[in-house]
Amino acid sequence: MRAPEAFPTAAARSAPLIAAPGRKPRPLAAALAPLAIASLLFASFPAAAGTITWWHWYPPEAWASYAPLVADFERETGIDVEPQYVGWSTMKDKLLIAIVGGIYPDVVTVSSRWADGLAEQGAFVRIDSWIGSEAQGFFPVALELWRTAGGTQYALPLDLDVPALFFNREMFAARGIADPGDLGWEEWFDLTRRLARDRDGDGDLDEFGLTTWWYPWITLVWANGGTIVQPGGTGLGLGAPDAREAIEFYRRLHDEGPIPQVRDANRLGAADPAELWKRGEVGMAPAGAWMPRYHLTDPESAEGAFRFDFGVTELPKGTTGLRAAPAEGSGIAVVRGTPHEDAAWLFAQYVASEPFMSRVAERLEGFPAHIDAARDVLARSGGEPFVRAVGYARPFPKGVDWWGSLSPIVMRELGRYLEGSTGLDAAIENIERQARALFAR
Protein backbone atom coordinates (compact mmCIF):
# COMPACT_ATOMS: atom_id res chain seq x y z
CA MET A 1 0.00 0.00 0.00
CA ARG A 2 1.06 3.56 -0.53
CA ALA A 3 0.06 7.17 -0.07
CA PRO A 4 -2.14 8.55 -2.87
CA GLU A 5 -0.83 10.96 -5.47
CA ALA A 6 -3.48 13.47 -4.49
CA PHE A 7 -5.74 13.57 -1.46
CA PRO A 8 -8.14 16.30 -0.34
CA THR A 9 -7.31 18.30 2.73
CA ALA A 10 -9.62 18.51 5.72
CA ALA A 11 -10.92 21.78 4.29
CA ALA A 12 -12.13 20.05 1.14
CA ARG A 13 -14.80 17.96 2.87
CA SER A 14 -17.36 18.48 0.13
CA ALA A 15 -15.02 16.96 -2.46
CA PRO A 16 -14.68 13.21 -3.19
CA LEU A 17 -12.56 11.27 -0.73
CA ILE A 18 -9.77 10.82 -3.26
CA ALA A 19 -8.83 12.94 -6.23
CA ALA A 20 -9.61 11.41 -9.63
CA PRO A 21 -6.66 9.81 -11.42
CA GLY A 22 -5.59 11.15 -14.76
CA ARG A 23 -5.38 7.83 -16.65
CA LYS A 24 -8.18 5.84 -18.21
CA PRO A 25 -8.16 2.11 -17.53
CA ARG A 26 -8.22 -0.57 -20.17
CA PRO A 27 -11.59 -1.93 -21.34
CA LEU A 28 -12.99 -5.20 -20.07
CA ALA A 29 -12.04 -6.97 -23.29
CA ALA A 30 -11.41 -10.71 -22.90
CA ALA A 31 -11.38 -10.86 -19.11
CA LEU A 32 -14.25 -13.31 -19.02
CA ALA A 33 -12.49 -15.97 -21.10
CA PRO A 34 -12.09 -19.49 -19.69
CA LEU A 35 -8.89 -20.16 -17.84
CA ALA A 36 -7.77 -22.50 -20.63
CA ILE A 37 -7.31 -19.48 -22.89
CA ALA A 38 -6.27 -17.12 -20.13
CA SER A 39 -3.42 -15.92 -22.31
CA LEU A 40 -6.00 -13.93 -24.28
CA LEU A 41 -6.81 -12.02 -21.15
CA PHE A 42 -3.24 -10.85 -20.76
CA ALA A 43 -2.14 -10.75 -24.39
CA SER A 44 -2.56 -7.00 -24.80
CA PHE A 45 -1.24 -6.18 -21.37
CA PRO A 46 2.54 -5.89 -21.18
CA ALA A 47 4.26 -7.74 -18.37
CA ALA A 48 4.94 -5.27 -15.62
CA ALA A 49 6.96 -5.69 -12.48
CA GLY A 50 5.32 -4.31 -9.41
CA THR A 51 2.96 -5.20 -6.61
CA ILE A 52 -0.70 -4.49 -6.05
CA THR A 53 -2.44 -4.98 -2.73
CA TRP A 54 -5.81 -6.71 -2.53
CA TRP A 55 -7.97 -6.59 0.56
CA HIS A 56 -10.42 -9.50 0.79
CA TRP A 57 -12.33 -11.45 3.44
CA TYR A 58 -11.81 -15.03 2.23
CA PRO A 59 -10.90 -17.15 5.29
CA PRO A 60 -7.82 -19.41 5.11
CA GLU A 61 -9.78 -22.52 4.13
CA ALA A 62 -11.29 -20.68 1.15
CA TRP A 63 -8.06 -18.95 0.21
CA ALA A 64 -6.42 -22.32 -0.37
CA SER A 65 -8.69 -22.71 -3.41
CA TYR A 66 -8.13 -19.22 -4.78
CA ALA A 67 -4.38 -18.98 -4.25
CA PRO A 68 -3.45 -21.06 -7.36
CA LEU A 69 -5.56 -18.77 -9.55
CA VAL A 70 -3.83 -15.71 -8.15
CA ALA A 71 -0.49 -17.40 -8.84
CA ASP A 72 -1.58 -17.91 -12.47
CA PHE A 73 -2.31 -14.20 -12.73
CA GLU A 74 1.09 -13.29 -11.33
CA ARG A 75 2.88 -15.67 -13.69
CA GLU A 76 1.05 -14.41 -16.78
CA THR A 77 1.32 -10.68 -16.07
CA GLY A 78 4.44 -10.22 -14.02
CA ILE A 79 2.31 -8.35 -11.50
CA ASP A 80 2.70 -9.47 -7.91
CA VAL A 81 -0.45 -9.57 -5.79
CA GLU A 82 -0.21 -9.01 -2.07
CA PRO A 83 -3.43 -10.43 -0.61
CA GLN A 84 -4.42 -9.16 2.82
CA TYR A 85 -7.25 -10.70 4.82
CA VAL A 86 -9.62 -8.23 6.47
CA GLY A 87 -12.72 -9.55 8.20
CA TRP A 88 -16.06 -8.78 6.54
CA SER A 89 -17.40 -7.08 9.66
CA THR A 90 -14.43 -4.70 9.90
CA MET A 91 -13.69 -4.11 6.21
CA LYS A 92 -15.71 -0.90 5.82
CA ASP A 93 -14.24 0.87 8.84
CA LYS A 94 -10.68 -0.21 8.09
CA LEU A 95 -10.98 0.84 4.46
CA LEU A 96 -12.37 4.25 5.39
CA ILE A 97 -9.58 4.79 7.91
CA ALA A 98 -7.00 3.69 5.34
CA ILE A 99 -8.39 6.08 2.72
CA VAL A 100 -8.53 9.02 5.09
CA GLY A 101 -5.00 8.18 6.27
CA GLY A 102 -3.71 8.06 2.70
CA ILE A 103 -2.45 4.48 2.84
CA TYR A 104 -4.87 2.11 1.20
CA PRO A 105 -5.09 -1.00 -1.02
CA ASP A 106 -5.18 -0.93 -4.82
CA VAL A 107 -8.17 -3.21 -5.13
CA VAL A 108 -10.72 -4.30 -2.55
CA THR A 109 -13.57 -6.75 -2.12
CA VAL A 110 -16.70 -4.75 -1.28
CA SER A 111 -20.08 -5.54 0.25
CA SER A 112 -23.45 -4.29 -0.99
CA ARG A 113 -24.29 -3.47 2.63
CA TRP A 114 -21.90 -0.55 2.76
CA ALA A 115 -20.09 0.13 -0.51
CA ASP A 116 -22.60 2.57 -2.02
CA GLY A 117 -21.87 5.19 0.61
CA LEU A 118 -18.14 5.10 -0.07
CA ALA A 119 -18.77 5.11 -3.82
CA GLU A 120 -20.89 8.26 -3.49
CA GLN A 121 -17.90 9.91 -1.79
CA GLY A 122 -15.58 8.97 -4.64
CA ALA A 123 -13.69 6.14 -2.97
CA PHE A 124 -13.67 3.91 -6.06
CA VAL A 125 -12.77 4.37 -9.72
CA ARG A 126 -15.76 4.77 -12.06
CA ILE A 127 -15.93 1.92 -14.54
CA ASP A 128 -19.00 2.92 -16.59
CA SER A 129 -17.02 3.49 -19.77
CA TRP A 130 -14.92 0.37 -19.34
CA ILE A 131 -17.69 -2.17 -19.59
CA GLY A 132 -19.05 -2.92 -23.04
CA SER A 133 -20.88 -5.90 -24.47
CA GLU A 134 -18.92 -8.18 -22.13
CA ALA A 135 -21.25 -7.02 -19.35
CA GLN A 136 -23.77 -9.46 -20.80
CA GLY A 137 -21.77 -12.17 -19.06
CA PHE A 138 -23.22 -11.01 -15.73
CA PHE A 139 -26.75 -11.26 -14.43
CA PRO A 140 -28.34 -7.80 -14.90
CA VAL A 141 -29.23 -7.40 -11.23
CA ALA A 142 -25.60 -8.17 -10.34
CA LEU A 143 -24.46 -5.12 -12.30
CA GLU A 144 -27.30 -3.03 -10.89
CA LEU A 145 -26.12 -3.90 -7.40
CA TRP A 146 -22.88 -2.01 -8.03
CA ARG A 147 -24.39 1.20 -9.38
CA THR A 148 -25.02 4.23 -7.23
CA ALA A 149 -28.42 5.93 -7.18
CA GLY A 150 -27.07 8.25 -9.88
CA GLY A 151 -26.15 5.30 -12.13
CA THR A 152 -22.38 5.25 -11.61
CA GLN A 153 -20.87 1.77 -12.01
CA TYR A 154 -18.08 1.42 -9.48
CA ALA A 155 -17.44 -2.31 -9.03
CA LEU A 156 -17.55 -5.62 -10.85
CA PRO A 157 -19.90 -8.22 -9.35
CA LEU A 158 -18.54 -11.40 -7.77
CA ASP A 159 -21.34 -13.26 -6.05
CA LEU A 160 -25.04 -12.74 -5.46
CA ASP A 161 -26.82 -13.38 -2.20
CA VAL A 162 -30.38 -14.04 -3.35
CA PRO A 163 -32.62 -16.23 -1.17
CA ALA A 164 -34.72 -19.25 -2.03
CA LEU A 165 -36.76 -21.39 0.35
CA PHE A 166 -34.86 -24.34 1.86
CA PHE A 167 -37.00 -27.05 3.43
CA ASN A 168 -36.30 -30.05 5.63
CA ARG A 169 -37.54 -32.91 3.46
CA GLU A 170 -37.31 -35.37 6.34
CA MET A 171 -39.62 -33.28 8.52
CA PHE A 172 -42.11 -32.88 5.67
CA ALA A 173 -42.12 -36.65 5.13
CA ALA A 174 -42.55 -37.34 8.87
CA ARG A 175 -45.65 -35.11 8.87
CA GLY A 176 -47.02 -36.77 5.73
CA ILE A 177 -46.71 -33.50 3.79
CA ALA A 178 -45.57 -33.37 0.16
CA ASP A 179 -42.55 -31.28 -0.77
CA PRO A 180 -43.58 -27.63 -1.21
CA GLY A 181 -43.90 -26.37 -4.76
CA ASP A 182 -45.41 -23.15 -6.13
CA LEU A 183 -46.49 -21.60 -2.83
CA GLY A 184 -48.61 -18.56 -2.11
CA TRP A 185 -48.59 -16.77 1.22
CA GLU A 186 -51.60 -18.60 2.67
CA GLU A 187 -50.18 -22.00 1.71
CA TRP A 188 -46.89 -20.96 3.28
CA PHE A 189 -48.69 -19.93 6.48
CA ASP A 190 -50.59 -23.22 6.56
CA LEU A 191 -47.40 -25.26 6.13
CA THR A 192 -45.69 -23.30 8.88
CA ARG A 193 -48.43 -24.23 11.33
CA ARG A 194 -48.71 -27.87 10.22
CA LEU A 195 -45.00 -28.48 10.68
CA ALA A 196 -44.80 -27.08 14.22
CA ARG A 197 -44.86 -29.56 17.11
CA ASP A 198 -45.10 -29.54 20.91
CA ARG A 199 -43.44 -32.92 21.48
CA ASP A 200 -43.70 -33.07 25.26
CA GLY A 201 -47.11 -31.44 25.69
CA ASP A 202 -45.88 -28.65 27.96
CA GLY A 203 -47.55 -25.93 25.92
CA ASP A 204 -44.32 -24.73 24.27
CA LEU A 205 -43.24 -25.68 20.75
CA ASP A 206 -40.19 -27.90 20.35
CA GLU A 207 -40.19 -27.92 16.53
CA PHE A 208 -41.04 -25.02 14.27
CA GLY A 209 -42.32 -24.66 10.75
CA LEU A 210 -40.27 -21.66 9.62
CA THR A 211 -37.35 -19.45 10.56
CA THR A 212 -36.64 -16.11 8.89
CA TRP A 213 -33.27 -15.87 10.64
CA TRP A 214 -31.44 -15.21 7.35
CA TYR A 215 -34.25 -13.47 5.48
CA PRO A 216 -34.85 -9.67 5.37
CA TRP A 217 -38.61 -10.12 5.70
CA ILE A 218 -39.31 -6.46 4.87
CA THR A 219 -39.00 -7.54 1.22
CA LEU A 220 -42.45 -9.10 1.61
CA VAL A 221 -43.60 -5.55 0.86
CA TRP A 222 -42.10 -5.86 -2.64
CA ALA A 223 -43.76 -9.24 -3.20
CA ASN A 224 -47.10 -7.61 -2.46
CA GLY A 225 -46.53 -4.82 -4.99
CA GLY A 226 -45.50 -2.26 -2.39
CA THR A 227 -42.58 0.10 -2.00
CA ILE A 228 -40.20 0.47 0.91
CA VAL A 229 -38.64 3.79 -0.10
CA GLN A 230 -40.35 6.00 -2.66
CA PRO A 231 -38.41 6.80 -5.87
CA GLY A 232 -35.82 9.48 -5.35
CA GLY A 233 -35.62 8.84 -1.63
CA THR A 234 -38.38 11.37 -0.94
CA GLY A 235 -40.27 9.28 1.61
CA LEU A 236 -41.44 5.82 2.61
CA GLY A 237 -44.20 3.65 1.22
CA LEU A 238 -44.87 1.56 4.34
CA GLY A 239 -48.21 3.20 5.04
CA ALA A 240 -49.74 2.20 1.70
CA PRO A 241 -52.33 -0.64 1.74
CA ASP A 242 -50.13 -3.17 -0.10
CA ALA A 243 -47.24 -2.56 2.30
CA ARG A 244 -49.47 -2.74 5.37
CA GLU A 245 -50.97 -6.02 4.15
CA ALA A 246 -47.47 -7.51 3.84
CA ILE A 247 -46.47 -6.37 7.32
CA GLU A 248 -49.71 -7.70 8.81
CA PHE A 249 -49.13 -11.04 7.09
CA TYR A 250 -45.70 -11.29 8.68
CA ARG A 251 -47.30 -10.53 12.07
CA ARG A 252 -49.52 -13.59 11.54
CA LEU A 253 -46.49 -15.75 10.76
CA HIS A 254 -44.70 -14.30 13.76
CA ASP A 255 -47.58 -14.89 16.18
CA GLU A 256 -49.46 -17.91 14.87
CA GLY A 257 -46.77 -19.85 12.98
CA PRO A 258 -44.90 -19.07 15.02
CA ILE A 259 -41.39 -18.15 13.95
CA PRO A 260 -38.81 -19.14 16.61
CA GLN A 261 -37.09 -16.28 18.39
CA VAL A 262 -33.76 -16.35 20.25
CA ARG A 263 -35.64 -16.92 23.50
CA ASP A 264 -37.26 -20.04 22.02
CA ALA A 265 -33.87 -21.35 20.94
CA ASN A 266 -32.39 -20.66 24.39
CA ARG A 267 -35.27 -22.53 26.02
CA LEU A 268 -34.37 -25.55 23.88
CA GLY A 269 -30.65 -25.34 24.63
CA ALA A 270 -29.63 -23.62 21.39
CA ALA A 271 -27.88 -20.31 20.89
CA ASP A 272 -30.21 -19.05 18.17
CA PRO A 273 -32.74 -20.22 15.53
CA ALA A 274 -29.87 -21.09 13.19
CA GLU A 275 -28.85 -23.86 15.57
CA LEU A 276 -32.42 -25.17 15.71
CA TRP A 277 -32.37 -25.39 11.91
CA LYS A 278 -29.08 -27.28 11.97
CA ARG A 279 -30.54 -29.73 14.46
CA GLY A 280 -33.44 -30.48 12.11
CA GLU A 281 -36.04 -28.83 14.34
CA VAL A 282 -37.24 -26.24 11.81
CA GLY A 283 -39.09 -27.10 8.61
CA MET A 284 -38.32 -24.16 6.29
CA ALA A 285 -35.68 -21.43 6.05
CA PRO A 286 -35.26 -18.75 3.36
CA ALA A 287 -31.52 -18.33 2.70
CA GLY A 288 -28.89 -17.90 0.02
CA ALA A 289 -26.93 -20.51 -1.92
CA TRP A 290 -24.32 -20.52 0.85
CA MET A 291 -26.74 -22.37 3.15
CA PRO A 292 -25.61 -25.98 2.39
CA ARG A 293 -21.94 -25.33 3.05
CA TYR A 294 -22.29 -23.32 6.22
CA HIS A 295 -25.45 -24.64 7.87
CA LEU A 296 -26.25 -28.06 6.43
CA THR A 297 -22.90 -29.83 6.08
CA ASP A 298 -22.29 -32.29 8.91
CA PRO A 299 -18.96 -31.32 10.58
CA GLU A 300 -18.51 -34.91 11.76
CA SER A 301 -18.66 -36.31 8.22
CA ALA A 302 -15.36 -36.74 6.42
CA GLU A 303 -17.28 -37.05 3.13
CA GLY A 304 -19.04 -33.73 3.61
CA ALA A 305 -22.48 -35.33 4.06
CA PHE A 306 -25.43 -33.15 4.93
CA ARG A 307 -27.12 -33.12 8.33
CA PHE A 308 -30.48 -34.09 6.82
CA ASP A 309 -32.16 -34.44 3.45
CA PHE A 310 -33.31 -31.06 2.17
CA GLY A 311 -34.84 -29.43 -0.87
CA VAL A 312 -35.07 -25.92 -2.29
CA THR A 313 -37.97 -24.10 -3.90
CA GLU A 314 -38.76 -20.49 -4.75
CA LEU A 315 -39.99 -17.97 -2.20
CA PRO A 316 -43.78 -17.81 -1.95
CA LYS A 317 -45.82 -15.37 -4.04
CA GLY A 318 -47.61 -12.42 -2.51
CA THR A 319 -51.35 -11.82 -2.85
CA THR A 320 -50.65 -10.05 -6.16
CA GLY A 321 -49.10 -13.22 -7.58
CA LEU A 322 -45.67 -11.57 -7.61
CA ARG A 323 -42.44 -12.89 -6.19
CA ALA A 324 -39.69 -10.68 -4.91
CA ALA A 325 -36.27 -11.30 -3.41
CA PRO A 326 -33.55 -9.06 -2.02
CA ALA A 327 -30.29 -8.96 -3.97
CA GLU A 328 -27.12 -8.56 -1.96
CA GLY A 329 -23.59 -9.74 -2.58
CA SER A 330 -19.94 -8.89 -2.96
CA GLY A 331 -17.99 -7.17 -5.70
CA ILE A 332 -14.50 -5.98 -6.44
CA ALA A 333 -13.50 -2.34 -6.88
CA VAL A 334 -10.37 -0.38 -7.73
CA VAL A 335 -9.59 2.19 -5.06
CA ARG A 336 -9.44 5.66 -6.56
CA GLY A 337 -6.05 7.29 -6.50
CA THR A 338 -3.95 4.15 -6.82
CA PRO A 339 -0.84 4.71 -8.97
CA HIS A 340 -1.30 1.12 -10.22
CA GLU A 341 -4.71 1.63 -11.76
CA ASP A 342 -4.12 -0.43 -14.92
CA ALA A 343 -2.76 -3.40 -13.01
CA ALA A 344 -5.50 -3.17 -10.38
CA TRP A 345 -8.21 -3.04 -13.06
CA LEU A 346 -6.78 -6.04 -14.87
CA PHE A 347 -6.74 -7.99 -11.63
CA ALA A 348 -10.32 -6.95 -10.82
CA GLN A 349 -11.40 -8.31 -14.22
CA TYR A 350 -9.58 -11.53 -13.52
CA VAL A 351 -11.22 -12.06 -10.14
CA ALA A 352 -14.63 -11.35 -11.74
CA SER A 353 -13.99 -13.81 -14.57
CA GLU A 354 -15.80 -17.11 -15.03
CA PRO A 355 -12.88 -19.38 -13.96
CA PHE A 356 -12.34 -17.51 -10.71
CA MET A 357 -16.04 -17.33 -9.91
CA SER A 358 -16.48 -21.02 -10.64
CA ARG A 359 -14.35 -21.68 -7.56
CA VAL A 360 -17.13 -20.05 -5.54
CA ALA A 361 -19.59 -22.51 -7.04
CA GLU A 362 -17.27 -25.46 -6.48
CA ARG A 363 -17.01 -24.65 -2.80
CA LEU A 364 -20.78 -24.03 -2.52
CA GLU A 365 -19.98 -20.73 -0.83
CA GLY A 366 -22.34 -18.59 -2.83
CA PHE A 367 -24.05 -17.94 -6.12
CA PRO A 368 -21.70 -16.56 -8.81
CA ALA A 369 -22.75 -13.31 -10.48
CA HIS A 370 -21.29 -14.52 -13.78
CA ILE A 371 -23.88 -16.45 -15.80
CA ASP A 372 -21.53 -19.16 -17.06
CA ALA A 373 -20.11 -19.76 -13.61
CA ALA A 374 -23.62 -20.00 -12.20
CA ARG A 375 -24.29 -23.00 -14.41
CA ASP A 376 -22.20 -24.98 -11.94
CA VAL A 377 -24.74 -24.10 -9.26
CA LEU A 378 -27.66 -24.88 -11.57
CA ALA A 379 -26.20 -28.35 -12.22
CA ARG A 380 -26.28 -29.11 -8.51
CA SER A 381 -29.38 -30.20 -6.64
CA GLY A 382 -31.44 -27.20 -5.66
CA GLY A 383 -29.70 -24.72 -7.93
CA GLU A 384 -32.51 -23.84 -10.32
CA PRO A 385 -34.70 -21.84 -7.86
CA PHE A 386 -31.79 -19.45 -7.34
CA VAL A 387 -31.42 -18.85 -11.07
CA ARG A 388 -35.13 -18.04 -11.31
CA ALA A 389 -34.94 -15.81 -8.24
CA VAL A 390 -32.18 -13.74 -9.82
CA GLY A 391 -34.73 -12.70 -12.44
CA TYR A 392 -36.97 -10.93 -9.89
CA ALA A 393 -34.42 -9.96 -7.24
CA ARG A 394 -33.68 -6.31 -6.59
CA PRO A 395 -31.20 -4.33 -4.49
CA PHE A 396 -32.29 -2.55 -1.36
CA PRO A 397 -33.08 1.18 -1.74
CA LYS A 398 -30.24 3.28 -3.09
CA GLY A 399 -29.65 6.96 -2.49
CA VAL A 400 -30.39 6.48 1.21
CA ASP A 401 -28.27 4.87 3.90
CA TRP A 402 -30.51 1.82 4.10
CA TRP A 403 -28.32 -0.55 6.11
CA GLY A 404 -26.56 2.02 8.26
CA SER A 405 -29.43 4.34 9.21
CA LEU A 406 -32.86 3.62 7.78
CA SER A 407 -33.14 -0.16 8.18
CA PRO A 408 -32.36 -0.05 11.93
CA ILE A 409 -35.20 2.45 12.39
CA VAL A 410 -37.65 0.41 10.32
CA MET A 411 -36.79 -2.91 11.97
CA ARG A 412 -36.79 -1.45 15.50
CA GLU A 413 -40.21 0.15 15.18
CA LEU A 414 -41.79 -2.75 13.31
CA GLY A 415 -40.22 -5.08 15.89
CA ARG A 416 -42.24 -3.29 18.56
CA TYR A 417 -45.35 -3.87 16.50
CA LEU A 418 -44.52 -7.57 16.16
CA GLU A 419 -44.02 -7.85 19.92
CA GLY A 420 -47.37 -6.20 20.55
CA SER A 421 -46.02 -3.15 22.37
CA THR A 422 -47.36 -0.74 19.74
CA GLY A 423 -49.90 -0.71 16.94
CA LEU A 424 -49.06 -0.67 13.25
CA ASP A 425 -50.26 2.91 12.76
CA ALA A 426 -48.02 4.13 15.57
CA ALA A 427 -45.07 2.10 14.28
CA ILE A 428 -45.38 3.53 10.76
CA GLU A 429 -45.80 7.05 12.12
CA ASN A 430 -42.63 6.67 14.23
CA ILE A 431 -40.70 5.32 11.23
CA GLU A 432 -41.83 8.13 8.95
CA ARG A 433 -41.01 10.81 11.52
CA GLN A 434 -37.45 9.54 11.96
CA ALA A 435 -37.05 8.90 8.24
CA ARG A 436 -38.00 12.50 7.39
CA ALA A 437 -35.10 13.69 9.52
CA LEU A 438 -32.75 11.35 7.64
CA PHE A 439 -34.00 12.45 4.22
CA ALA A 440 -33.64 16.08 5.23
CA ARG A 441 -29.97 15.49 5.99
Same domain, 98 and 174: no
Number of structural domains in the chain: 2
Residue 93 belongs to a domain: yes
Same domain, 267 and 378: no
Rounded Cα distance between 134 and 346, Å, is 14
Range of the domain at 366: 35-160+328-394
From 378, 394, 410, give the residue that closes a domain. Answer: 394
Nearest alpha carbon to residue 162 among 384, 403, 389, 315: 389
Cα 52 vs. chain centroid, distance in angstroms? 26
Nearest alpha carbon to residue 219 among 249, 262, 257: 249
| pLDDT tens profile 240-286 | 999 999 999 999 999 998 999 999 999 999 999 999 999 999 999 99
Mean pLDDT of the chain: 85
Which residues of the chain are under the pLDDT cut of 70?
Answer: 1-49, 133-134, 360-365, 376-382
The residue type at 308: F
- pTM of the entire predicted model: 0.86
| pLDDT tens profile 383-427 | 789 889 999 999 999 988 999 999 999 999 999 999 999 999 999
Strand 156-161 to strand 325-326: parallel, antiparallel, or no bridges (unpaired)? unpaired
From 325, 360, 377, give the residue that closes a domain. Answer: 325
Residue 435 belongs to a domain: no
